[in-house]
Amino acid sequence: MSLDFSVTMAGLSFRTPLLTGSGTFGYGDEFLSVMDYAPLGGLVTKSISIRERKGNPPPRICETPGGGVINSIGLANPGVEAFIRTKAFILPVGLTRVFLSVFGETVEEFIGVISRLESVPGVDGYELNLSCPNVKSGGISLGGDSDAVIEIVRESRSITKRFIAVKLTPHHIAIAPLAEAAAKAGADALTLTNTLVAMMIDAETRKPMLGTVTGGYSGPPLKPVSLAKVWQASKAVDVPIWAGPEQAACSSAQCFSPIPMLPVESSARWRSTATGMASARSANSSARFDPPSCEEAFANPARRHLYGCGESDRLCREAPFERRAGISTDQ
Ligand SMILES: Cc1cc2nc3c(=O)[nH]c(=O)nc-3n(C[C@H](O)[C@H](O)[C@H](O)COP(=O)(O)O)c2cc1C
């Protein structure tokens, strides 16, 4: 008996409701040799900006008690032009739905990136990552400002016919007005949520465990926070919500599993899919994690970006091993 997990959102059909979380699956090429793409409904790429970003100093990832991780990758990416030249052709177009995550510090930057990406064939849509600070209004995140949300989504809508998902941070107490703003301006879906600002200190060295001191918290401990946001937003809007039901657990071997972001307006069968993925991951969760050397990681392209060793990740290669030891993943 074959089960039908297909779903349709805004006229776009998905083989299953499983999507990868942005930044956890690269551009989709590196996993081709290690997993079957059949259960994937789609992938969301690492976020792309108008200019190249080198990312933050290492260590960029640390684990937290209870299975969470804090990352401070710093949205490292080659910039939109280099993405089009060197990455766009490796997207697994045709194998699964492909969504390009886009971010900027101003409305103009969002529009600049999307208008260039419109030339990339086979792309199904965009995920607008609204967690950057709004440089024009003193640093509040773009996604925390309803007017900015409306402007970015409306302008994006006016230049593309592709699917638009809007990703918000969990930082704002009142998520409903932001969700409403996104939906009103033309979002086809919401993604809830991005990471929560957090920090860890190494008890032995008494030093922060991340190069940037604070980073973005994700994984199972974030689940109740995200669920509350999903629930609040789902009461305010009708658009589907892409949500991480079990949250990312990139800290150990189960990182090979894509991180599911599930549409929430859902039936029991969607939830059972999530549970299946979650059980597979928890079965692995006691696996010991030994970060490889960058040389080892580079020798195996399929594992490379899991350990902070993306091709453009010069910092990782140059950092001494002990500083790299806390790095478990990268975009
Ligand atoms: C290593 C890493 C890199 C990430 N990079 C991005 C990114 O580039 N853009 C983005 O919108 N979210 C990024 N995220 C956030 C995830 O997509 C997801 O929203 C977050 O991890 C919370 O969900 P989770 O607890 O299910 O992982 C990143 C997360 C991790 C762990």
Tokens (6 digits) for 285:
């969760």
Nearest residue CA, atom 18 of ligand 1?
194
The H or E element spanning position 125 is strand 125-129
132 annotated active-site: yes
HEC secondary structure over 177-224: HHHHHHHHCCCCEEEECCCEEEECEECCCCEECCCCCEEEEECHHHHH
Q: How far apart are CA 236 and CA 178, in angstroms?
A: 10
Query: Does ligand 1 have an atom closer than 6 angstroms to the CB of 58?
Result: no
For each successive 10 residues of the chain (331 residues), what is the average pLDDT? 87 92 91 89 96 94 92 95 96 96 95 98 97 64 90 98 96 94 97 93 94 92 90 94 58 33 39 29 32 47 41 37 34 29
Cis peptide before 224 (omega within 30 of 0): no
Tokens (6 digits) for 156:
């994006």
Are 131 and 218 in a shared domain?
Answer: yes
Q: Are 170 and 222 in contact (CB under 8 A)?
A: yes
Tokens (6 digits) for 259:
């991180």
Coil, strand or helix: which one is 44? strand
150 part of a folded domain = yes
Q: How far apart are CA 240 and CA 34, in angstroms?
A: 30
Are 176 and 209 in a shared domain?
Answer: yes
Q: How far apart are CA 103 and CA 331, in angstroms?
A: 14
Q: What is the pLDDT of residue 139?
A: 57
Q: How far apart are CA 47 and CA 177, in angstroms?
A: 24
Tokens 């994937």 belong to residue: 40
Are 213 and 312 in a shared domain?
Answer: no
Query: DSSP states of 133-176 as a string?
Result: B-GGGTT-BGGG-HHHHHHHHHHHHHH--SEEEEEE-TT-S--H
Residue in 24, 52, 255 to alter for ligand 1 test, most ligand atoms within 8 A of Cβ: 24
Distance 23 CA to ligand 1 centre (A): 5
Are 72 and 165 in a shared domain?
Answer: yes
β-bridge partners, 168: 192
247 part of a folded domain = yes
Q: What is the pLDDT of residue 137?
A: 58
328 part of a folded domain = no
Tokens (6 digits) for 62:
């640390």
Distance 278 CA to ligand 1 centre (A): 17
Distance 70 CA to ligand 1 centre (A): 10
Query: Does ligand 1 have an atom closer than 6 angstroms to the CB of 56?
Result: no
Q: What is the pLDDT of residue 140?
A: 66
Nearest residue CA, atom 23 of ligand 1?
247
Domain that holds residue 263: 7-289
Q: What is the pLDDT of residue 176?
A: 97
Coil, strand or helix: which one is 201? strand
Tokens 């949205």 belong to residue: 75
Q: What is the pLDDT of residue 330?
A: 32
Query: Does ligand 1 have an atom closer than 6 angstroms to the CB of 24?
Result: yes
Are 163 and 297 in a shared domain?
Answer: no
329 part of a folded domain = no
Residue in 194, 246, 312 to alter for ligand 1 test, most ligand atoms within 8 A of Cβ: 194
Distance 2 CA to ligand 1 centre (A): 32
Nearest residue CA, atom 28 of ligand 1?
23
Q: What is the pLDDT of residue 133?
A: 66
Q: What is the pLDDT of residue 263?
A: 52
